[in-house]
Chains A and B, each alone.
Chain A
Amino acid sequence: MSVNVLMPALSPTMEKGNLSKWLKKEGDTIKSGDVLAEIETDKATMEVEAVDEGILAKIVVPAGSNDVPVNQLIAIIAAEGEDVSKVGTGSAPVAAAAAAAAAAPAAATLAPAAAAPVAAAHAPQTVSGSKVFASPLAKRIAKDGGLDLSRVTGSGPHGRIVERDVRAALAGGVSAPAPKASAAPVAAPAAAPAPAISDDQTRKLFTPGSFDEIPHDGMRKTIARRLTEARQTVPQFYLTMDCEIDALLKLREQINASAPKDKEGKVSWKVSVNDMVIKALALALVRVPDANVTWTETAMLKHHHADVGVAVALPGNGLITPIIRHADTVTLSGIALAMKDFAARAKSRKLKPEEYQGGTTAVSNLGMFGIKDFTAVINPPHSTILAVGAGEQRPVVKNGALAIATVMSVTLSCDHRAVDGALGAELIAAIKVLIENPMSLLV
C-alpha cells in the first residue's frame, strides 16, 4: 500500500511553503528518518524527514515549486515490494495530486526534522489544499465581510478560528477586498494588501530589459506582509534619547578581558555593545512592567518576563528576529553566546519557528553602519522596538563646560494602543539609566 507524502505545516501559522530541493530521487529506497526534501517557509529552511519506509515512487511537486499549500500531495512512497510503476500514475502534478490525496487520506507520513509545534501534529487533514477550522459564526461573519479565512490565525482550541479572530482581522483590515476600480487581480493570494497599482503597471514604468526580476522568497513576502500590517494597524510614535556610553564601553572591555579562555587561548565569549543594550532593554521592562505588554482586542497581555527579539540582517537582503527569552534573567555572557548561535543559524536559515515567533519587544541596531539615529517598525506582538544608533564622540555640556563623551542615540517606537506617551518616556528613561550605569546590568 502506497503512502502519500503531504506538504507539512512546519509552524502553526504556515499556510504554504516553497519546495526548494529534493534530496531523494524517484526510485530511491527510503528509510524512516531519511531527509526527503528541503522546504522553505516564511522565514526558515527546514528539512523534511520520512516517517515510513519504502521506495520514493513519484515526486509530484518538483523542486523549485513556490507556494505549495500545506497538505498538498508532494510525493508518493510505495511500500517495499509494491509495483512502483503502478503507483502515482497521474502525471498532471497538482490537480491529480489533490485527487489522489482525497482518495486515500494518508496517515501523517512526514515529520519535520525540527521539533515542529502543535500544528504539525494536527496537520494532515483529509483533502486537498488547506482545511480551515473555524466556528460557524466565524465563517459567516468572514463571508459577509469578504475575509479569506485561510489568512486568519485562530485563537480558539487547537487553533480554531472563532468570532473574535475574524472581528480582529476585519478591524485590522487584513483583507478588505481590493477596490473594484483597481486593476489588481482581486483573487490573487495577496501576501500583502492589494497595492494601489498593479505589478504590470509598475513594470511598464521602466524600460523593458533595463531590470532583472527576482521572484520573492518566503521571507521577503513575510517581511512585506507583516511590516505593512504593522504600519497600517499599529498607531506608532517615537521617542529619542541620547545615552552616554563611556562607562558601558569600559565595563565591556573589563568583562571581555576577563572572559575565560580555552586551551588554545580562544575566548569562550565576547560581549558586544548590542548584547548590553538587549540586557538594558529587558531590565528596563522589568522596572517598568506596564510597558512589558502585548495588545489584544480583548485584553492587555502583561508579560512576566521580557523576551527580546533581536533583528539579524541576512546576507544580501533579508532579516529575521530571533528571540532571547527571559532576557531579564539571562547573564550578559549568556546573551552573547545565544546571539552568536542565533546569528550563525539565521544566516543559514536554520532557525526554528519557535526561536523567532513571539517576544515582547525587540532591538534593531544599525550603529555598525554609522547610522546616527533612525526609527524601527514594530513587529507585532511586540509593543515596542528600540532602534540603536552608532556610539560616537560628541561634544556635550557638563556643569556648564564643553566636554567630549561617547554618545549613542536610541529611539523607541511604541504601540500607542498598549504604551502611552508618558509610559514610553518612563521606559526609555529607564533604558538610559541602565546604559549609563552599566554595573546594574550585572546585578
Chain B
Amino acid sequence: MSDAVYDVLIIGGGPGGYVSAIRSAQLGFKTALVEREHLGGICLNWGCIPTKALLRSAEIYHYATHAKDYGLTLNGSMSVNVADVVKRSRGVSQQLNGGVAFLMKKNKVDVIWGEAKITKVGEVSVGKSTKPVVEPQNPIPKGVLGEGVYKAKHIIVATGARPRVLPGIEPDKNLIWTYFEAMVPKTMPKSLIVMGSGAIGIEFASFYRTMGADVTVVEVMNQILPVEDAEIAALARKSFEKQGIKILSGAKVLGVKKGVDSVTATIQDEKGATTEITADLLISAVGVVGNIENLGLEALGVKTDRGCVVTDGLGHTNIAGIYAIGDVAGPPMLAHKAEHEGVICIEGIKGLHVHPMDKLKIPGCTYCHPQVASVGLTEAKAKEQGYTTKVGRFSFIGNGKAIALGEPEGMVKTVFDAKTGKLLGAHMIGAEVTELIQGYVVAMTLETTEEDLMHTVFPHPTLSEMMHESVLDAYGRVIHA
C-alpha cells in the first residue's frame, strides 16, 4: 500500500482521462492516471485516429482512380494493399500512443497500470489488467506503477464506452465485426453489411465502398446519420447511393445466419416484409455503452442510468469525491466532449470559475465521403422547441474554391432564431467541412448574432466563404446564388 495521497486520481487513459490528468497537473494537483490497456483509449488506438488514417488511404485511392478528372494520367496499375493500409493506420496510433506516454511523463502524472476498483471514497485498488497488452505496437510504458492500493482525494471515472451488442447478433471477431476488427482487415471483403448508420457505421461503409467492396447499410431509423439535420442526411444518402452503397432505412436486422465464410442477415422493412441479404461479413455499429462495470460503483451507491454514470454537468456524481466524465458520463459520446468535460471537472475541483458544458455547442464530425459536420439544433429540433427560424443554405456549386477543387457537391446550412439572431445550429456536408465547422462553434460560443457573422471578413478563395453566404442567405442577402 502506497502512503502517498493523490489529489486527483483518474481511471481511464482515453482522451477524457489523459487530458484531465494534464490539466490537473497544470493546476498543481498531485495526479495519477490508471490505465489497463492503452494510453489514448479507444479514440487514439481503435477509434477516431486510426479510422482517419484508413479513410485517408481511401481518399487518396479515390483521387488516384479519378486522376484523369484533373488532367493526369497514371501509367501502370493501381491496387489496394490491405496489409500496408492497415500497417500505416496502426503506425499512426502507435506514434500518438507514445506521445501520450511522453505527455504524462512531462507533466509528472503517475501512470498506474492495471484494472482499477474504487473500494471506498478516497481509495482505489488496482489489480491485474484483464486486457492483453497490444504488443509490439503499444507495450506497457516504462516507469508505470503497478498493482496496489492508492489513495486520492478526488477520483474521476473516465472509463469510456464499448460497442453495444444486440442479442443474437453478437460479434465473433470472424463474421460479425465491431470497429475493432473492421479497423484491421486481413483481406478486403468483397461484400459487407453495415448495421447502424451513425458516424462509426457510415465511416466504415464509406471506407470499404471506396476500396471496392459492395456495401449495404441497414438503419432502423428512417434517416441515415440520425442525429444530423434531415436535409443534410438526405444529401448524404443521395451521394452514398451514387457511389453504389445500398441503403435500407427504416429496416431492422432480425437475425444473422452464419455460413462458413459468409453471413446471411434477415432484414425487415418498415411494412414488415422480410428479405435476406448475404455478404462476406457484417459490421455491427449500433452505438456504444458506458463501461460502468467492475469499478465498485454499485457498492458505493453511485447513481447510474441506462449504462452511464449520472453527473451534474460539472462531473459530480451523487457521491462526494467521486466524479465521472466522458463517454461513461453519458452522450454525446465524443472525444472532444470528454476532454472538455474533464477540464471543467478538474477546474471545478480547483475552485475555478466554471459552467456546465452546453451540449448544444458540441460539434460532431463524420469523415465519410462527402464529409458531414454540424453543431447545435437541427432545423426540425429548432422548430420543435418553438423557435421561429430563419434558415440559410448555400451549395458548394456556387463556391469558386469548391469548383477548383473538383468538389462541387455539398451544402452549408445555418439555422437562426428569427427573434434574436442567435445562431441555433449549423449543418454542413461536402469537402473539408469537418475543418470548417469550428468557425461556427466559435461564433456560437461567443454568442455572435447574424450581424457579427455578416460583418466578418472571410478569405477568398476558400470553402469558408460558403459559411458567410449561408448566413447572408438566411437573411435574404446571399451574393453568389
Contacts and interface: CB of A to CB of B under 8 A. Distances in A.
Interface of A: 135-138, 140-141, 144, 155, 157, 162-163, 289, 298-300, 302, 304
A140 B316 contact: no
Given A137-B420, A140-B420, A163-B422, A298 B356 contact: yes
A423 B449 CA distance: 42
Interface in B179-238: none
Contact of B355 (A140, A298, A304): A298
Contact of A136 (B313, B320, B419, B451): B451
Contact of A144 (B320, B356, B420, B446): B420
Contacts of B419: 144
B447 A136 contact: yes
Given A163-B422, A299-B356, A137 B316 contact: no
5 contacts: A137-B447, A137-B448, A155-B355, A299-B313, A299-B314
Contacts of A299: 312-314, 356
A302 B420 CA distance: 33
A14 to B, nearest CB: 18
A426 B158 CA distance: 35
A140 B449 contact: yes
Contacts of A144: 419-420
Contact of B448 (A136, A141, A289): A136
Interface in B408-447: 419-422, 446-447
B452 interface: yes
A138 B353 CA distance: 20
Nearest to A139: B449
Contacts of A136: 446-449, 451-452
Contacts of B420: 137, 140-141, 144
A300 B318 CA distance: 13
Contacts of A298: 313, 355-356
A161 to B, nearest CB: 10
Given A136-B452, A163-B447, A302-B312, 16 more contacts: A135-B448, A136-B447, A136-B449, A136-B451, A137-B422, A137-B449, A138-B447, A140-B420, A144-B419, A144-B420, A155-B355, A289-B320, A298-B355, A299-B314, A300-B312, A302-B316
A310 B451 CA distance: 48
A138 B422 CA distance: 10
A163 B422 CA distance: 10
Taking each of A137, A163, A289, A300, which has the highest tally of chain B beta carbons within 10 Å of its own beta carbon? A137
A412 B298 CA distance: 36
A140 B353 CA distance: 25
Contacts, number: 39
Contacts of B447: 135-138, 162-163
A157 to B, nearest CB: 8
Interface string B305-337: 000000011101000100000000000000000
Interface residues of B, number: 18
A146 B422 CA distance: 18
B350 to A, nearest CB: 12
A299 B312 CA distance: 8
Nearest to B423: A137
B406 to A, nearest CB: 37
Given A298-B356, A299-B356, A137 B421 contact: yes
A141 B312 CA distance: 28
B421 A140 contact: yes
B346 to A, nearest CB: 15
A117 B1 CA distance: 43
A392 to B, nearest CB: 40
B389 to A, nearest CB: 16
Contacts of B320: 289, 304
3 pairs of A and B residues whose beta carbons are closest in the complex: A135-B447, A137-B447, A136-B449
Nearest to A145: B420
A299 B357 CA distance: 11
B318 to A, nearest CB: 10
Contacts of B355: 155, 298
Contacts of B313: 298-299
A135 B421 contact: no
Taking each of B314, B420, B451, B452, which has the highest tally of chain A beta carbons within 10 Å of its own beta carbon? B420
Nearest to B448: A136
A118 to B, nearest CB: 9
Contacts of A138: 447
Contacts of B314: 299
B418 to A, nearest CB: 12
A157 B356 CA distance: 14
Contacts of B452: 136
